[in-house]
C-alpha cells in the first residue's frame, strides 16, 4: 500500500458563524492525484487553503508525514500552490517569476538557471525566459504559474481550479499536460474543481464534497458507477434519479413497475433512491421492454442523441447513437447490473440539494 | 454655418486661456523687464534672476522649501501607504467612514487648517519653526497619498502576497518584493503630488512657521508687504515653472501605470 502523506484530522472551520467545513477527515497518499470536487461553497477551496497554511482550522489538525503542521506558516511548508487567477508577479519576467522561490532558498545561480530551463521545457514554454508575464496568454500564464511552483520540488502541488479561466479546448489540452507532468515529476497533486468532467479525466481519487461534508471518496469509476447517494449521482454526470421501492433482494419497483437489479441487503418493501445512467437506458420495440412510454424530445448532442421518454408521467432520459423520433411509442429496458440502488438521504441537507435542482 | 460655429468655439477656448494665463504670463514677462517701473518695458534682462541667486535669505528659503517638500512627501508616503493597507482590510462601512475622515483636510479651507495648527501648537507649547511646518505639511499631504494609492492597492490581486509566502518568502520579504513593486507607480504619483502640494503651500505654512523661518512662498509674501522688488517676479515665475513641471510628471506616471495594468488583463 502507498505511504500516507497528508492527514486532515477532523477539521472544522466556520466564518462569521457559517460552517464551511464540518468534521472533515481526509487522508492523501504519496504520489496520488486527488481531486476535491463539489459545487461552489462546498468547502473545497477552504480545505486547500488550510492545507497550504493560509487559513487555520477552528478544530482538528493537519498532519504531514506524521508531523502536526497545523500552526506552521505557509512559507515553512513543503507544499506549493497554483492559484486560480495565477497570481504571477507582473513586475517580473518569466524567469524571475520562476526563480522566486529558489532565490529565497539561496540556491546557486547555475542551479537556478538549470531549473528554469527544465521547468520551462516541462510546461512547453522553452525560450520564454525574458518575456514579460503580462504579454502572455491565459494558458501561458497558467503554465508559468505551474513552473514557478514545481521548481521548488514540493512534496505536494495544490491546484485551485487552475483551468477555470481557460476555454474548453485549451482546458482539455492542459488536463492531459497535467497528467503527464504528474507522472514525470512523481509528486502528489491535490486538485480543486467544480468540473466533474475534469475530475473524472485526471484523478486517481475523487473526493465529492457538499456543504462542508465529504459525500463520497473513491476512484472515478466507482464514483460514476456506484454513487452512494442522490447528491453524488446528480452531481457526477447526467442521470435518471428516481425514488423506488426495494421489494426484496435483486428486485425493485419504479412507480409499481418491477425491475430486476443486482443489489441485495436493503431490506424488503423499503423506499430507496435509484440511479440509472442515460447511456444504460435501452429503447427497444414495444413489448420487449420492462415499461412502455412515448418519446417526447429528441436532441442531437454530437456523439449521441438524447431522448426524453414519458413513462406514466415520469421523464426518463436515454442516450443512444440511434435516434428515435418524437411521438414514437417505445419500451424501456435496463440491464439489472446498471441499476444503482442507494439509501434515502439521512440528513436534511442532502434532501435540500435535491429539491433545489 | 458649421465653420462659423467652430470659430466661435475656438474664440471661447482662447478667451478662457487668456483669462487663466494672462496674469502669469505678465508676471513672467515682468521678471525679464529691466525697468523697475512696471509701467514701461526697459529692455530684456536676467539681472533679477542673478540677484535672486546671490541673495542668501532667498537661498535659505529655497533650501527650506525643498527640504520640507522632500521630508513631508517621503514621510506622508510611508504613513499613507500603511494607512491604505490597514484600511483595505476593514469592512466596507468603517472603510468608507475612514476615507471620508481622511478626505476632509483636503477639502477644508487652508486658512482653517492653518489656524487650527497654530492653535494646536500653541496649546501643546511646541516651539514654532521648521518642525511645526513639517508636521503640518505631513498632515495635509497624507490624504493625497491615500487617494492615489488606495485604488491601485484595492485592484491588486490578493493572491500575489499569498503566492510569495507559498514560495517560501517571509511576510516582510513578500511585502517588499511583490506587493510594494506592484503599487509603486501609485506611491510615486502620490509622493509627487504631495511634493507639489508642499512646495505650493502658503497659508498653512504662514500660520505654522515661527519668526525667522521662511519658505519661498512666505518669503515672497513678506517681501511684497514691504514693497515689491522685481526679484520676487523672478522667484514667482520659477516656482510656477517648477510646479508646472511637477504636475506634468504627476500626470504622466499614472498614465504609464494604467497602460501597464491594461496589458495584464
Mean pLDDT of B171-175: 93
Looking at residue A357, its pLDDT comes to 35
Looking at residue B102, its pLDDT comes to 86
Q: Do A73 and B165 touch (CB under 8 A)?
A: yes
Q: B38: Cβ–Cβ under 8 A, 6 or more apart, which residues?
A: B30
Q: How confident is the model at residue B256 (pLDDT cuts 50, 70, 90)?
A: low
Looking at residue A296, its pLDDT comes to 92
What mean pLDDT value characterizes chain B? 86
Mean pLDDT of B245-265: 60
Among 1.10.10.60, 3.40.1390.10, 2.60.120.10, 2.40.50.140, name the CATH number for the domain at A282-331.
Answer: 2.40.50.140
Nearest-neighbour CA in chain A from B160: distance (Å)? 5
Looking at residue B1, its pLDDT comes to 53
Name which of B206, B187, B199 is nearest B68 in CA terms: B199
Structure-block grid coordinates of residue A156: 505536494
Looking at residue A120, its pLDDT comes to 92
Q: Do B166 and A134 touch (CB under 8 A)?
A: no
Q: Could you give the 3-state DSSP secondary structure of residue A193?
A: strand
Q: Do A74 and B162 touch (CB under 8 A)?
A: yes
For the purposes of burial, counting CB atoms within 10 Å of the CB of B67, is it exposed (0-12), middle (13-18) or buried (19 or more)?
A: middle
Looking at residue A18, its pLDDT comes to 87
For the purposes of burial, counting CB atoms within 10 Å of the CB of B13, is it exposed (0-12), middle (13-18) or buried (19 or more)?
A: exposed
Share of chain B above pLDDT 70, in %: 94
Looking at residue B31, its pLDDT comes to 87
Task: Give domain limits for chain A.
Answer: 4-225, 238-279+334-357, 282-331
Q: How confident is the model at residue B253 (pLDDT cuts 50, 70, 90)?
A: low
Task: Give domain limits for chain B.
Answer: 55-264
Q: Do B162 and A101 touch (CB under 8 A)?
A: no
C-alpha to C-alpha distance for B170 and B163, rounded to whole angstroms:
11
Q: Do A73 and B169 touch (CB under 8 A)?
A: no
Q: Are B183 and B149 in contact (CB under 8 A)?
A: yes
At the topology level, CATH places domain B55-264 in: MetI-like fold (1.10.3720)
Looking at residue A217, its pLDDT comes to 93
* Most confidently modeled range among A143-147, B102-106, B210-214: A143-147
A-chain residues near B180 (CB < 8 A): none
pLDDT < 70 positions in chain A: 1, 346-357
Q: Do B165 and A87 touch (CB under 8 A)?
A: no
Q: Distance from CA of residue A337 to its chain's centroid?
A: 25
Lowest mean pLDDT among B160-174, B192-206, B240-254: B240-254
Looking at residue A177, its pLDDT comes to 85
Q: Is the pLDDT of residue B69 over 80?
A: yes
Name which of A154, A185, A199 is nearest A51 in CA terms: A154
- Closest in B164, B165, B264 to A90, CB measured: B264
Q: Is the pLDDT of residue B78 over 90?
A: yes
C-alpha to C-alpha distance for A103 and A155, rounded to whole angstroms:
19
What mean pLDDT value characterizes chain A? 89
Name which of B198, B194, B207, B200 is nearest B111 in CA terms: B207
Apex A203 CA angle, A200 and A204, nearest 5: 120
Q: Is the pLDDT of residue B150 over 90?
A: yes
C-alpha to C-alpha distance for B137 and B140, rounded to whole angstroms:
5
Q: Is the pLDDT of residue B157 over 60?
A: yes
Looking at residue B264, its pLDDT comes to 38
A-chain residues near B181 (CB < 8 A): 89, 91
A4 — phi, psi (to 5°)? -75, 125
Looking at residue B259, its pLDDT comes to 46
Q: Is the pLDDT of residue B237 over 80?
A: yes
In order of A8, A75, A179, A214, the CA distances from A218 in angstroms are: 17, 31, 18, 11
Q: Are B249 and B73 in contact (CB under 8 A)?
A: no
CATH code for the domain defined by A4-225: 3.40.50.300
Looking at residue B255, its pLDDT comes to 52
Mutate: best of B91, B158, B166, B265, partner A, most A CBs <10 A: B166
Looking at residue A346, its pLDDT comes to 63
Q: Could you give the 3-state DSSP secondary structure of residue A5?
A: strand
Q: Are B77 and B187 in contact (CB under 8 A)?
A: yes
| B contact residues 158-217, partner A, Cβ 8 Å cutoff | 159-160, 162-171, 173-174, 177-178, 181-182, 184
Could you give the count of Cα atoms lying within 13 Å of B8 in the half-sphere of its Cβ?
5
Q: Distance from CA of residue A237 to its chain's centroid?
A: 11
Looking at residue A355, its pLDDT comes to 39
For every residue of A116-160, DSSP letters joined together read HHHHHHHTT-TT-TTSBGGGS-HHHHHHHHHHHHHTT--SEEEEE
Amino acid at each position: 500500500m502507498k505511504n500516507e502523506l497528508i492527514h486532515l484530522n477532523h477539521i472544522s472551520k466556520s466564518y462569521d458563524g457559517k460552517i464551511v467545513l464540518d468534521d472533515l477527515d481526509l487522508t492523501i497518499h504519496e504520489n496520488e492525484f486527488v481531486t476535491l470536487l463539489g459545487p461552489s461553497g462546498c468547502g473545497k477551496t477552504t480545505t486547500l487553503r488550510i492545507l497550504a497554511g493560509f487559513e487555520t482550522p477552528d478544530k482538528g489538525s493537519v498532519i504531514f508525514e506524521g508531523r502536526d503542521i497545523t500552526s506552521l506558516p505557509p512559507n515553512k511548508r513543503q507544499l506549493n500552490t497554483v492559484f486560480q487567477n495565477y497570481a504571477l508577479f507582473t513586475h517580473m519576467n518569466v524567469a524571475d517569476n520562476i526563480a522566486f522561490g529558489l532565490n529565497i532558498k539561496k540556491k546557486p545561480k547555475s542551479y537556478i538557471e538549470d531549473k528554469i530551463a527544465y521547468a520551462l521545457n516541462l510546461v512547453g514554454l522553452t525560450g520564454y525566459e525574458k518575456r514579460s508575464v503580462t504579454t502572455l496568454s491565459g494558458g501561458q500564464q497558467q503554465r508559468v504559474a505551474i513552473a514557478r511552483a514545481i521548481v521548488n520540488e514540493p512534496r505536494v502541488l495544490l491546484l485551485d481550479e487552475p483551468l477555470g479561466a481557460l476555454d474548453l479546448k485549451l482546458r482539455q489540452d492542459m488536463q492531459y499536460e497535467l497528467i503527464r507532468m504528474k507522472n514525470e515529476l512523481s509528486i502528489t497533486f491535490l486538485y480543486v474543481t467544480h468540473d466533474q468532467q475534469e475530475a473524472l479525466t485526471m484523478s486517481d481519487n475523487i473526493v465529492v464534497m457538499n456543504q462542508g461534508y465529504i459525500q463520497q471518496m473513491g476512484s472515478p469509476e466507482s464514483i460514476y458507477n456506484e454513487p452512494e447517494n442522490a447528491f453524488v449521482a446528480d452531481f457526477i454526470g447526467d442521470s435518471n434519479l428516481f425514488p423506488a421501492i426495494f421489494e426484496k433482494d435483486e428486485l425493485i419497483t419504479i412507480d409499481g413497475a418491477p425491475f430486476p437489479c443486482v443489489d441485495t441487503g436493503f431490506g424488503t418493501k423499503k423506499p430507496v433512491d435509484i440511479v440509472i445512467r442515460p447511456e444504460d437506458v435501452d429503447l427497444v420495440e414495444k413489448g420487449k421492454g420492462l415499461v412502455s412510454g412515448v418519446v417526447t424530445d429528441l436532441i442531437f448532442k454530437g456523439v449521441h442523441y438524447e431522448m426524453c421518454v414519458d413513462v406514466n408521467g415520469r421523464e426518463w432520459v436515454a442516450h443512444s447513437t440511434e435516434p428515435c423520433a418524437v411521438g414514437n411509442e417505445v419500451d424501456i429496458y435496463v440491464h439489472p447490473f446498471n441499476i444503482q440502488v442507494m439509501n434515502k438521504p439521512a440528513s436534511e441537507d442532502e434532501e435540500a440539494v435535491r429539491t433545489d435542482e | 454655418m458649421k465653420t462659423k460655429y467652430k470659430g466661435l468655439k475656438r474664440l471661447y477656448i482662447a478667451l478662457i486661456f487668456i483669462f487663466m494665463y494672462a496674469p502669469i504670463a505678465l508676471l513672467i514677462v515682468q521678471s525679464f523687464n529691466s525697468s523697475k517701473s512696471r509701467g514701461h518695458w526697459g529692455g530684456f534682462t536676467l539681472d533679477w534672476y542673478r540677484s535672486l541667486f546671490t541673495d542668501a535669505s532667498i537661498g535659505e528659503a529655497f533650501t527650506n522649501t525643498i527640504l520640507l517638500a522632500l521630508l513631508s512627501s517621503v514621510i506622508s508616503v510611508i504613513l499613507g501607504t500603511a494607512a491604505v493597507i490597514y484600511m483595505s482590510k476593514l469592512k466596507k462601512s468603517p472603510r468608507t467612514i475612514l476615507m471620508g475622515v481622511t478626505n476632509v483636510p483636503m477639502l477644508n479651507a487652508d486658512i482653517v487648517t492653518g489656524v487650527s495648527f497654530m492653535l494646536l501648537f500653541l496649546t501643546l507649547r511646541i516651539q514654532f519653526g521648521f518642525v511645526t511646518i513639517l508636521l503640518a505639511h505631513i498632515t495635509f499631504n497624507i490624504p493625497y497619498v491615500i487617494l492615489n494609492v488606495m485604488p491601485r492597492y484595492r485592484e491588486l490581486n490578493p493572491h500575489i502576497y499569498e503566492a510569495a509566502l507559498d514560495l517560501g518568502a517571509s511576510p516582510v520579504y513578500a511585502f517588499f518584493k511583490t506587493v510594494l513593486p506592484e503599487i509603486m507607480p501609485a506611491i510615486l504619483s502620490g509622493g509627487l503630488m504631495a511634493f507639489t502640494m508642499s512646495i505650493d503651500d502658503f497659508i498653512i505654512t504662514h500660520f505654522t512657521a515661527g519668526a525667522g523661518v521662511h519658505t519661498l512662498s512666505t518669503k515672497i509674501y513678506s517681501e511684497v508687504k514691504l514693497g515689491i522688488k522685481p526679484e520676487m517676479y523672478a522667484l514667482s515665475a520659477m516656482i510656477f515653472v517648477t510646479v508646472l513641471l511637477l504636475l506634468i510628471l504627476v500626470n504622466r506616471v499614472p498614465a504609464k501605470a494604467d497602460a501597464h495594468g491594461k496589458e495584464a488583463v
